[in-house]
Amino acid sequence: MTRPESFRQWVGLYGLYMRAFPKAERKPFSMIVKMWKQGKTDIWCVESGGVFLGLGITINGEDTILLDYFAMVEKYRGKGFGTVALKAIMARYEGKRFFLEIENPLEDHPERELRQRRKRFYLAAGLEEMGTFARLFGVEMELLGKGLSMGFDGYKAFYRDNYSQWAADHVTPSGLE
C-alpha cells in the first residue's frame, strides 16, 4: 500500500474510482485530490509487484477515520488481495477509531446479494456492525466499524467536522435505527 506518486498510479486510481462506484455515490475526483492536498484525506494505491490492484480513500478526523472508498480492480476480486489490503489500511490507522459505510444490505434492491456479500467481506476482515443506518445523499447506508460505536448524531457530526456542513446537511435519518 503506497501513496500515489506516478502518473500510472493516478490513472489506475481514477479509472477504478469511476468504474467501481455508482455515480450517485462519487464525489468529484478533483474534490478528493483537493482534500488530499489539504491533509484531510489519504489516498492509497494497493499494489503488488508494481501492478495496480486497488484503492483506498479515507477521510481523516482527529481520532476517527472513515474509509470513504475501497475497491479492487475487477480481475483481482475474490482472490484475497482485498482482505490483505483492507487489513493493511486498518493497521495503518491502528489506535484510531475506524469505520466505513456500506449500501444497506437489507434494502430491497437489485444488487441485494452483492451488498450482502460486501458486508460479509467486511465483517470477516474484523469490522463490526454498529447498529447505525443513515441516508447519505439519498443512499441508504449501514455503518460498520472497529473500535467505536457511533449513532446517527455522531455520524452527522463526523461529516460536519471533517468534511463540510454541506455534506453533513446531506446525512439524514434512515428510519431503520
Contact 80, 127 (CB under 8 A): no
110 vs 7 pLDDT, higher one: 7
Res 113: pLDDT: 85
pLDDT computed for residue 60 by the predictor: 96
User: Rounded to whole angstroms, how far apart are CA atoms 175 and 133?
Assistant: 8
Distance (Å, whole) CA 122 – CA 129: 10
Q: What residues contact 17, with CB distance under 8 A and at least 6 apart?
A: 26, 29, 55, 57, 69, 71
Cα 176 to Cα 140: distance, rounded to the nearest angstrom: 10
Confidence label for 79 from pLDDT (cuts 50, 70 and 90): very high
pLDDT at 58: 98
pTM here is 0.91
Q: Count CB atoms within 10 A of the CB of residue 164.
A: 14
Is residue 65 within a helix (H) or strand (E), and if so which, with residue range? strand 64-72
Interatomic CA distance for residues 33 and 69, integer angstroms: 13
What's the pLDDT score for residue 87? 96
Closest CA to 63 of 156, 162, 130: 162
Q: What percent of the chain has pLDDT over 90?
A: 74
Is the pLDDT reported for residue 141 higher than 70? yes
For residues 9-23, give the mean pLDDT.
Answer: 95
Domains of the chain as residue ranges with CATH: 1-95 (3.40.630.30), 100-177 (no CATH)
DSSP per-residue letters across 7-25: HHHHHHHHHHHHHHS-GGG
Range from 6-15, 55-64, 120-129, 141-150 carrying the lowest mean pLDDT: 141-150
User: What pLDDT, on a 0 to 100 scale, did the predictor assign at position 25?
Assistant: 85
Is pLDDT above 60 for 34? yes
Q: According to DSSP H, which parts of 44-149 are helical?
A: 81-92, 112-124
Backbone angles phi, psi at 17, to 5 degrees: -55, -45
Question: With bands split at pLDDT 50, 70 and 90, how would you rate the model's confidence at 103?
Answer: confident
Instruction: Estimate to the nearest angstrom the gap between the alpha carbon of 131 and the chain centroid.
Output: 17
